[in-house]
Homo-oligomer: A and B are copies of this chain.
């Protein structure tokens, strides 16, 4: 499948980027002078690095360093960096871990402030290795050194024609537009290799290894500003710096530059492998999903989809409407596109009457105008349909992207040359972005690249399966572009007092605008009876104690009490039961509250994730959460609109629409209350571990917190 033909159409790399770039990583990723420490023809990694530097066309100053001063690759070498005698931007340390620290010290001593480190044997092996890495980090941080690695294959920067490190070089044949950043050099390399075979060009292919002081987030931050980079593909084990990634993602969103991520950790067993691989802590996978949702980061689940989705988003740019029109000459492919696309979330709107009218004018003998649209043999008899039909469907009011099912040719088309040319032109008459999509995965060879170049195409979707996934992600990303994450909570000037019990927690919520149930505290049976008279109707009574969290287990809950007498009796029973079952607990009395029935009970939980901070879980309370584990997660702060989306994503969301004669739940009101619960949690300060409102009662537009519990570290 390799294609070693000469560059056909365009230079493999663009001219050097403007020198105006000033990011702190510019010297690391675009050095104009390099020290190559450990250069030796006997070292396979060294050979890979030298080969990459030569083939990429690095035209800066290259200084080889070899401890023994032996010539390498036909060039003289210096014995160490101090003997180079010129200022050097960056050094590639291609030495084993045993001599790494010394090599780093020498390089830093020679004034080099950017290092790429190949050697493993650091934090990823634990123990002694972790200590070695700590020492290295102290050295680098102290000297203001940016270091890629350790335990990393380095990078190649096709845009600026620089390669530092031992990622095997791969020729590409079109200008770079996609950047790949991967914790694993092997993944970076084969993902880019795969993309190249699909006709994609890469600007950067970067391995990050242990991310000691340069993280994937730093690299995203760097890449966002480079105009040639149209999309960023990430492979991650962990997010080392969530704040930095969030900030970079917001900048990417503002720049309308997609970030696509394949992050491991969805299966519990994966965490152990990642820990051993690069000492990464994969974190809670569902929280990472919530982070992606907030940040507009597209998440995929395979290497293929990483490359294809990044290339698709980079080529198409954001689309204005989520609807996709699909035009094919194959009924079978149309059907699989319809099935598979629907399954992965692609929206194929049925065409509007005006679109159907227009279609019928040109498709008189077809008789059907479904979407996906099977042109049938009509498009053999009248090849002009290949331009007219895409143009018509692209103007449909619900369509934001048009797909034409045609393989980029790999040889001169023997049977339908005219069609192939017309298909190539089809995007020019379309009112939306238009991409070709092949039947199944296929590579683009030299002939295909010439075809695409001639017709001005950037990318062709490789097959219905990968293509539909990418298109679904494109629609999602395009929509999320319009929703920047809300600003973080302000750090409270004074942390709110810790609520000591349910009532104080509810009061705290009420102060933040959360509707809470009106209750009366009673400290005797008589007071309880009085409360019953005041409130009226059916009542609930709960024990009030800072020491009891599971009230029903100690007989601390009585429901459906009617009238003062029943309440008095329940008070006495409860005191007896709680006194017996929780004899050590401080008892402050009981809470008497009106019963709420005939609505839904939601769970609104706020918890603190070690990486991403406060996270909100929304679910339908009781049996739904317990049996289905049916909750939706959002990072905080969250917009009410996002919380409505979260509620709508629950498996049992149908209950909100008014189940069995119940009123339709006012989800805007629920989301407002939930947003305020989030604010109230933030005000409780950094020691709060969780704040749970369970249930949040909802009946129509009536929303009320019935019970709440705050827990602290």
Contacts and interface: CB of A to CB of B under 8 A. Distances in A.
Interface stretch (A271-279, A499-507, A541-549, A635-643): A271-279
Nearest to A126: B367
A2 interface: yes
Given A330-B187, A439-B190, A441-B194, A343 B301 contact: yes
A200 to B, nearest CB: 13
A713 interface: no
A461 interface: no
Interface in A164-191: 182-184, 186-187, 190-191
Contacts of A397: none
Contacts of A464: 302-303
A72 interface: no
Contacts of A368: 272-273, 276
Interface string A195-221: 000000000000000000000000000
Contact of A273 (B191, B272, B367, B370): B370
Interface string A433-465: 000000111110100000000000000000111
A440 B194 contact: yes
Interface in A319-334: 330-334
Contacts of A628: 628, 651-652, 654
A443 B654 CA distance: 46
Nearest to A411: B2
Contacts of A440: 190-191, 194, 302-304
Contact of A44 (B273, B339, B415, B652): B415
A460 B466 CA distance: 20
A79 to B, nearest CB: 28
Given A186-B333, A372-B273, A463 B303 contact: yes
Contacts of A623: 659
Contacts of A262: 336
A627 B659 contact: yes
B44 A465 contact: no
Number of copies: 2
A265 interface: yes
Contact of A333 (B187, B372, B376, B465): B187
Nearest to A264: B335
Given A1-B1, A628-B652, A439 B273 contact: no
A431 interface: no
A265 B339 contact: yes
Contact of A338 (B267, B410, B442, B445): B267
B332 A182 contact: yes
Contacts of A441: 194, 304, 441
B411 A186 contact: no
A410 B1 CA distance: 7
Interface string A332-349: 111110111111000010
A120 interface: yes
A269 B120 CA distance: 54
A464 B377 CA distance: 37
A624 to B, nearest CB: 9
A391 to B, nearest CB: 21
A628 B623 CA distance: 13
B339 A266 contact: yes
Contact of A377 (B44, B120, B272, B330): B120
Chain A interface size, as a band, is: 35 or more
A236 to B, nearest CB: 10
A407 to B, nearest CB: 8
A374 B659 CA distance: 51
A331 B274 contact: yes
A269 B302 contact: no
A74 B431 CA distance: 51
A235 interface: yes
A440 to B, nearest CB: 4
A237 interface: yes
A273 B334 contact: yes
Contacts of A339: 264-267, 270, 301
A530 interface: no
Contacts of A626: 654, 659
A350 interface: yes
B44 A331 contact: no
A587 interface: no
Contacts of A332: 182-184, 186-187, 235, 237, 264, 277
A655 interface: yes
Contacts of A340: 301-302
Contacts of A655: 627
Contacts of A627: 652, 654-655, 659
A278 B445 CA distance: 34
Interface in A265-295: 265-267, 269-270, 272-274, 276-278
Contacts of A377: 120
A273 B331 CA distance: 7
Nearest to A267: B342
Nearest to A368: B276
A343 B269 contact: no
Contacts of A338: 264, 267, 269-270, 273
A183 to B, nearest CB: 7
Interface string A621-660: 0010011100000000000000000000001101100010
Nearest to A444: B1
A303 B465 contact: yes
A186 B333 CA distance: 9
Contact of A342 (B125, B266, B333, B334): B266
Contacts of A350: 269
A342 to B, nearest CB: 4
Interface in A403-422: 410-411, 415
A335 B463 contact: no
Given A194-B441, A627-B654, 19 more contacts: A2-B410, A184-B330, A186-B332, A186-B333, A187-B439, A237-B332, A237-B335, A267-B343, A270-B335, A270-B339, A272-B368, A273-B334, A277-B376, A302-B336, A302-B440, A303-B336, A304-B463, A626-B659, A651-B651
A-B complex: 8 closest residue pairs judged by Cβ atoms: A277-B331, A184-B332, A267-B342, A302-B465, A264-B335, A187-B332, A270-B338, A303-B440
11 contacts: A187-B439, A190-B440, A270-B335, A273-B338, A273-B368, A276-B374, A302-B336, A302-B340, A304-B440, A305-B465, A651-B651
